[in-house]
Structure 1
Amino acid sequence: MSVLNRLRPLLTHVILLAVAFFYLFPFAWMLGSSLKTPGEFFTAGLQVFPAEAQWHNYVDAWSKARFGTYFLNTFLVAAGSTLMLVLITSAAGYTLARTTFPGRAAVVAVMVLLFFLPGGYTVIPLYDLVTRLGLLSTLWAVILVITAGSIIYNTILFSGYFTTLSRDVEESALVDGASTPVIFWRIALPQATPMIATVGLFHFMYSWNSFFIPLIFTLGNPKLRTLAVGMQAFVGENQTQWTWICAGAAMTIVPIMLLFFFMQRYFVDAIAGAVKG
């Protein structure tokens, strides 16, 4: 029995390493393939490391395959929608958590019902609304639609987080004559930094990787394609340049990985705060 207890940690680490290998190998192969020649891409099989690194693949993908334009479009969509979402949902969540108004229960009930509405059912009316507003084939259309689709869920998250915060400082400020908007901006919102970072991180990742919405609302203007749409279109237009596609995929994934790496502390703090509350 003692021998089994000694081997159990070793077996656990071996299993975890095997699982990690299967998860990480496709990513490592993609990075290695982005540095191969077109011929080596097909002849090297599952070999990760290239015979000689072709760094110009990234330059070619950035300029010739227009991944530079796609990257900029993706960043504008992700950053714009994330900023807009955080501002809207934090204010709405604080209102639900701290104020009482007629019909509040009905508002929450409608929000919950709309949360379970499949997104595919709203594409046609959204397309018609965007067309009537004259925003079709613009990045503003993508930003607004992606933001709107995430408002309910993140409003509920902010509302739950603000509920866990102490009201003592807010009540003191209210007695001193501070208005509700001032209390929200100067007291409540700074305390919600972990939740802001969590909501912002996940929505930025969602917007960055979004495919369906950018495809629908930028279909008439290829110059407005995001990375996800641009890579899919590039596969159909240039079947032989797989090394460029791997380079573009690396440029798509690496920024998100770095963002999560630097912001994971805030994510952990938000989860810990929610559990504590």
Structure 2
Amino acid sequence: MSALDTRTMTTQDSDRSVLRKLRRGRPLRPGRILTFVGLLVLSLVWIYPFIWLVSASLKDSSEIFGDGLALLPEEPMWENYARAWTEAGFSSYFLNTVLITAGTIVLVVVRSALAGYVLGRFDFPGKKLLIGVFLVTFFLPEGYTIIPITQLTDQLGLLNTHAGVILGLGAGGQIAATLLYAGYFRGLPKELEESAKLDGAGPFRTFFQVMMPMAWPITATVVILTFLFAWNTYLLPLVFTLSEPNLRTLAIGMTVFVGEYGQDWSGMAAAAVLSMIPVIIVFVILQRKFVDSIAGAVKQ
């Protein structure tokens, strides 16, 4: 028997041994069982409010509080969704929110990536001071900046417009996104830029055709964070659309269900479910890249 045949038989025996172990499975130890049960309980506690919200959206307002913690409605009331979408004006609020969120994401990704590229790849006088100023502004509450942002937007003639809300949300510091890009670009080899330069690419072409495609995991993270921020923000769109109710976003539209003498809880629950669906879809699509970028940051 040749040496090749011997190695082949040894490999096959090893594969059979691994298969037998997989078929038998690992024994369930008490520690693993307790861990599984604990994680299952935590998952149920975490997901229960979302299930309750969906259940409440299919009930009457009196049934929501009369049934306590019961989840199954006596008779599903799908008209709550129709009322929220048409009568409460959530169809227009939804479109406003999509436009504002999409514009904010584009603005934040482009400007944060450009700023992060400069901070991560180039050395210049005052760089550390600039990063320090960025970090200080990171902790400023939104309420401290709403007045100057409103004044600047008004002077530009963009108050009570979609463009004004987008500019107000996306043209701020966005320090977290900028630092994420800076950290990623700092770790890329310099040979990439040198190769692009030899091919005749200028700075902008190198950035958009070489660097940005490689930073896709960071871009996915920034898209998710910016999407959540722009989709759920309340204060700035409220101030910017006080005199234009037709420009309201979903977050502001929730106030429609709060009246002087009571609240339409079932309609509000249906509207909340409608506003959550795009968030879930975006996260499901980009979650893999989001996890990869976080894992890469931890390794670095």
TM-score normalised per structure 1: 0.91
Which residue does 1:188 correspond to in 2? 211
Letter in 2 for 1:259: V
- Shift of the 188–127 alpha-carbon distance from structure 1 to 2, 3 Å rule, reads same
- Give the deviation of 1:7 after TM superposition: 2.1
Which residue does 2:293 correspond to in 1? 270
Counterparts of 1:238 and 1:34 in 2: how far apart (Å)? 21
Between 77-86 and 142-151, the greater mean CA deviation after superposition = 142-151
- Shift of the 118–245 alpha-carbon distance from structure 1 to 2, 3 Å rule, reads closer
Counterparts of 1:248 and 1:96 in 2: how far apart (Å)? 42
Between 9-18 and 231-240, the greater mean CA deviation after superposition = 231-240
Letter in 2 for 1:274: A
| Aligned partner (choices 242, 252, 256) of residue 279 of structure 2 | 256
Counterparts of 1:257 and 1:150 in 2: how far apart (Å)? 26
Counterparts of 1:208 and 1:57 in 2: how far apart (Å)? 22
Letter in 1 for 2:30: L
| Aligned partner (choices 40, 52, 69) of residue 29 of structure 1 | 52
Which residue does 2:69 correspond to in 1? 46
Output one character per residue of 1:64-106: Cα deviation in whole Å (capped at 9) or x when no partner. Answer: 0111111111111111101110011111111222223344333
Output one character per residue of 1:177-211: Cα deviation in whole Å (capped at 9) or x when no partner. Answer: 32111110110110011111110111101111111
Counterparts of 1:103 and 1:42 in 2: how far apart (Å)? 59
Counterparts of 2:175 and 2:194 in 1: how far apart (Å)? 27
Q: Would the aligned equivalents of 1:88 and 1:151 in 2 still touch at CA under 8 Å?
A: no
- Give the deviation of 1:34 after TM superposition: 0.8
Counterparts of 2:175 and 2:226 in 1: how far apart (Å)? 13
- Give the deviation of 1:269 after TM superposition: 1.7
| Aligned partner (choices 108, 112, 118) of residue 85 of structure 1 | 108
Output one character per residue of 1:39-66: Cα deviation in whole Å (capped at 9) or x when no partner. Answer: 4334322211112222222111100011
Query: Can you give the 5+ residue segments of structure 2 that lack an aligned partner in the other structure?
Result: 1-27
- Shift of the 44–270 alpha-carbon distance from structure 1 to 2, 3 Å rule, reads same
1:220-235 alignment, distance < 5 Å:
220-235=243-258
TM-score normalised per structure 2: 0.84
| Aligned partner (choices 85, 109, 118) of residue 95 of structure 1 | 118
- Give the deviation of 1:37 after TM superposition: 3.0
What is the alpha-carbon root mean square deviation over aligned residues? 1.9
Output one character per residue of 1:206-254: Cα deviation in whole Å (capped at 9) or x when no partner. Answer: 1111111111211222111111111034323683422111110001112
- Give the deviation of 1:109 after TM superposition: 3.0
| Aligned partner (choices 144, 148, 151) of residue 167 of structure 2 | 144
Output one character per residue of 1:106-161: Cα deviation in whole Å (capped at 9) or x when no partner. Answer: 33333233223333221211122122222222222221111123522211110111
Query: Can you give the 5+ residue segments of structure 1 that lack an aligned partner in the other structure?
Result: none
- Shift of the 220–145 alpha-carbon distance from structure 1 to 2, 3 Å rule, reads same
| Aligned partner (choices 210, 219, 241) of residue 218 of structure 1 | 241
Counterparts of 1:173 and 1:203 in 2: how far apart (Å)? 30
- Shift of the 104–61 alpha-carbon distance from structure 1 to 2, 3 Å rule, reads same
Counterparts of 1:230 and 1:167 in 2: how far apart (Å)? 49
Q: Would the aligned equivalents of 2:257 and 2:265 in 1 still touch at CA under 8 Å?
A: no
Letter in 1 for 2:94: F
Counterparts of 1:69 and 1:229 in 2: how far apart (Å)? 12
Q: Answer yes or no: is 1:16 the counterpart of 2:39.
A: yes
Q: How many residues align?
A: 273
More contact order relative to length (CA 8 Å, sep ≥ 6): 1
- Shift of the 161–238 alpha-carbon distance from structure 1 to 2, 3 Å rule, reads farther
Which residue does 2:200 correspond to in 1? 177
Q: Answer yes or no: is 1:110 the counterpart of 2:133.
A: yes
